[in-house]
Structure 1
Amino acid sequence: MEDTNSEISTVEEGTTLLLVDDDGPFVRRLGRAMESRGFTVDIAETVADGLAKASTTPPDYAVIDMRLGDGNGLDVIEAIRKAREDTRMIVLTGYGNIATAVNAVKLGAIDYLAKPADADEIFAALTRKPGERVEMPENPMSADRVRWEHIQRVYEMCDRNVSETARRLNMHRRTLQRILAKRAPR
């Protein structure tokens, strides 16, 4: 989580940011990096804590991990959106896939970043102006990644029901569970 730019962009003083991630060391480093950019940072390491903070003091901005120890970060996005319409939220996850990115955007997130993402990438995503284009990635997805994305899309369409997803993909349920438990291929 190093800053690559010698000159750091900042936000208006008093701008609040909620970070929801169960990786304690990562979220604290990110919190310090965002404080140096002018944010007033609040940290939650569980869905329950994120939901509580979202309902009591909805933030101006939020960075939310998709998979947390006690549930799904999409629940926090939904709660923030209900409490405050104008919060700019991004989803940050090590299990990136198109289907969950679409769900996150439908619920109100403005962007979706795969881990590892550094503070500069996260800040840029949070502060990007509406309609501003994102740079194209240097490396396209591998065939393994495309397959994994398809499985994740069907899994999301089946409301995360493993048995139904396995039936639709004509795959053994245990094989599907092993695939779902792994990180996305590069």
Structure 2
Amino acid sequence: MSTLTTLPKPQGALLISPAADDHEIFGDLFRRRGWILGHASSIYSASAMLRDKPAAVVITERDLSGGNWKDVLETMRALPAPPLLIVISRVADDHLWAEALNLGAYDVLAKPLDDTEIARVVSVALNHQQETPIAPRPEAL
């Protein structure tokens, strides 16, 4: 008889952005809603944080020092329970939307950021992660 071992559910979100105002906007919103938010300013620091404390959702600036959102997506795919990825950008054109969604991102948020839209997208993503069973991938065992 085989049993499925599930991984613990990751909690909250991780914001990856070099912009202090992004951290302020998301931090204020997450505090008001009682959500957990981790902060990173680079792909390198985010990778270490995600290995130590998995997040359900990663929110990343499109362009980062040392890489971009696609590098974040690749880093996340190596995790036992990959989080959902939300990309934020001042240039949220049709090309970015199509590319992000086709490559596996969950959503794209356009800047200037709107609290209502952030709350809607993040809430749906967090709920989706909580409702989806997480089974370890064979290569992660």
TM-score (norm 2): 0.69
Deviation at 1:121, TM superposition (A): 0.8
Q: How many angstroms apart in 2 are the aligned matches of 1:89 and 1:115?
A: 16
Whether contact under 8 Å (1:19, 1:43) holds in the other structure is yes
Whether contact under 8 Å (2:62, 2:88) holds in the other structure is yes
User: Which residue is equivalent to 1:75?
Assistant: 71
Deviation at 1:60, TM superposition (A): 0.9
Q: How many angstroms apart in 1 are the aligned matches of 2:67 and 2:95?
A: 17
Structure 2 counterpart SS, 1:83: coil
Deviation at 1:85, TM superposition (A): 4.2
Letter in 2 for 1:56: D
Q: Does 1:45 align with 2:37?
A: no
Deviation at 1:47, TM superposition (A): 1.9
Deviation at 1:50, TM superposition (A): 1.9
Deviation at 1:91, TM superposition (A): 0.7
1:32-64 residue CA offsets vs partner (Å, 9 max, x unmatched): 211221211100111222222223322011211
Q: How many angstroms apart in 2 are the aligned matches of 1:91 and 1:53?
A: 18
Structure 2 counterpart SS, 1:95: coil
Q: How many angstroms apart in 1 are the aligned matches of 2:34 and 2:82?
A: 19
Whether contact under 8 Å (1:89, 1:126) holds in the other structure is no
| Higher RCO (Cα < 8 Å, 6 or more apart) | 2
Q: How many angstroms apart in 2 are the aligned matches of 1:54 and 1:107?
A: 20
Q: 1:58 aligns with which of 54, 61, 64?
A: 54
Matches within 5 A, 1:104-183: 104-128=100-124
Q: 2:97 aligns with which of 101, 111, 122?
A: 101
5+ long unaligned stretches in structure 1: 1-13, 130-186
Q: How many angstroms apart in 2 are the aligned matches of 1:86 and 1:70?
A: 21
Q: How many angstroms apart in 2 are the aligned matches of 1:47 and 1:68?
A: 7
5+ long unaligned stretches in structure 2: 1-9, 126-141
RMSD: 2.2
- Matched residue count: 116
Deviation at 1:95, TM superposition (A): 1.9
Structure with greater Cα Rg:
1
Report runs of 4+ in structure 1 exceeding 6 Å deviation.
none
User: Which residue is equivalent to 1:24?
Assistant: 20
CA pair 38-117 structure 1, distance change in 2 beyond 3 A = same
Q: How many angstroms apart in 1 are the aligned matches of 2:89 and 2:80?
A: 23
Q: Does 1:87 align with 2:57?
A: no
Letter in 1 for 2:90: G
TM-score (norm 1): 0.54
Structure 2 counterpart SS, 1:15: coil
